[in-house]
A = this chain, B = another copy of it.
Amino acid sequence: MAYTAEIIAVGTELLLGNIANTDAQMISEGLAELGINVFYHTVVGDNAERLTKAVEIARSRADIIITTGGLGPTYDDMTKQTVCRCFGRELCFHPDILEDIRLFFETQLHKPMPECNRQQAMLPVDCVVFDNPRGTAPGCAFEEKGQHVLMLPGPPTECSYMFKNRAMPYLRALSPDTLVSHSLRIFGIGESHLQELLKTQIETYENPTVAPYAKTGECMLRVTAKAASREEAEALCRPVVDEICALLGDAVYGIDVENLESVCLSLLQEKGKVFATAESCTGGLVAKRITDLPGASGVFCGGVVSYTNEVKVGCLGVPWPLLDKHSAVSRPVAEAMAKGVRRICGCDMGVAVTGLAGPKGDEFGNPVGRVFVALATPEGVFCRELSLGKRRERVRNAAANHAFDMIRRYLSGLEIEHV
């Protein structure tokens, strides 16, 4: 029988709309991976009475309650006290935890620990302590008559670390089954087309299950198997992953990877290649995305953001007649930009993006959303002509995705110009 969990986020800043409840999203994704059903999320402010009510409601409908937030040292941090009162449990002082907190202040924050942080070393009697190397608030978990309560700190970087490294192992141990899950990342097939192609797998497969997730401008499939051991679960996943990869072909750009740019980074590192960017409508987004990744400096030398024709000509060496004849949004200009940046940077590949992100079209009659992406390589120049819709942000993101997809396909020896 599958467990049911409820996530209670504690924090007035959430109710004021100051921040979104990304902790609940992150935890929900992890619980789905563990095969634990989530039926409700609740958000409640830093108020003992209302938190008590929320905990009582959650107790009546969930096997596992996970709280986030309210573990800080100030008077409005009251999650531990309130939850323990609900479950009739005392708090007790942990000297070793206090030592950890004092050490964190000394080594990480470089200041003495204020007295109020002592409160963070008070934890429920008979709990599993979740030590927190990312902050001062330890988390914890306890069991009460078959129900499990887990408390995690609220700041997203701490919460994410504590959930993945402390809560997930605790929850995994509750079930005799092991779950193994693989994410297939897909570019170039739309969500509805994907659902059609994999209707049988999504609707009828039970172990492993196949679930689609929509991401911005691309798709993801999660294949999840349950078995007595990791090896058996892996063995269940493998043929289904293979079956889907065979069906979708090279639209599957990676398994258990982060995004297109991280796949490019690995491929570039592996092949020892360096690329440069020439960006018009994406205005630096391709460069920004590759440099989001540590290690980018080994595979990316830089590039030019040529937002005006003057910069296309002056920096990239695009000939004026080409711009006059074909307009900046054209195949010949995209190709000249890619070749130009490859030449001036003296690297292996140049990728160029030129197009109209909107809100307006241009005087040449190019509609919003028309984008050319070109890749200059020692083997020649490749180019895609795209029509990416009307929303500025979406056009820019999709164009950057295509730039990375072309690099990936070139380095993988796949067909480059067609998606």
Binding site for B on A (CB under 8 A): 14-22, 24-32, 38-45, 47, 50, 53-54, 57, 61, 211, 213-214, 276-277, 279, 281-288, 290-292, 294, 296-297, 300-308, 310-311, 314-315, 344-346, 357-360, 392-393, 396
Chain B residues with CB under 8 A of A315? 302, 304, 315, 344-345
A211 surroundings in chain B (CB, below 8 A): 16
Q: Helix, strand, loop or mixed for chain A's interface?
A: mixed
| Distance A338 CA – B350 CA, assembled complex (angstroms) | 24
Which residues of B are found within 8 Å of A306, using beta-carbon distances?
302
Chain B residue numbers with a CB within 8 Å of A283 are 284, 287-288, 290-292, 296, 300
Q: List 9 A-B contacts (CB under 8 A).
A: A20-B25, A40-B44, A279-B284, A282-B291, A283-B284, A284-B303, A287-B287, A300-B307, A304-B304
B residues in contact with A19, CB < 8 Å: 25
Q: Are B314's CB and A307's CB within 8 A? A: no
Neighbouring B residues of A302 by C-beta, 8 Å: 304-308, 311, 315
**Which residue from B38, B43, B286, B345 sits with its C-beta under 8 Å from A284?**
B286
Residues of chain B with a CB closer than 8 A to A292's CB? 283, 392-393, 396
Of the candidates B285, B296, B308, which one forms a contact with A307 in the assembled complex, judged by CB atoms under 8 Å apart?
B296
Q: How far, in Å, is A161 (CB) from chain B's closest CB?
A: 13
Question: Residues of B contacting A288 with CB < 8 Å?
Answer: 282-285, 287-288
User: If A30-B17, A284-B288, A288-B285 touch, does A358 touch B303 (CB 8 Å cutoff)?
Assistant: no
Tell me whether A15 and B42 are in contact in the complex, defined as CB-CB below 8 angstroms, given that A297-B307, A310-B346, A344-B315 are known contacts. no
For A43, the chain B residues whose CB sits under 8 A away are 24, 40-42
CA distance A345 to B313 in the complex (A): 10
- Shortest C-beta distance, A343 to chain B (Å), equals 10
Whether B42 and A17, one on each chain, are in contact in the complex, defined by CB atoms closer than 8 angstroms, is no
* Cβ B314 vs Cβ A344 within 8 A: yes
- Determine whether the beta carbon of B297 is less than 8 Å from that of A301: no
* A93 CB to nearest B CB, Å: 28
A30: nearest chain-B partner, CB-CB: B17
In the bound assembly, the distance between CA atoms of A315 and B42 in angstroms comes to 54
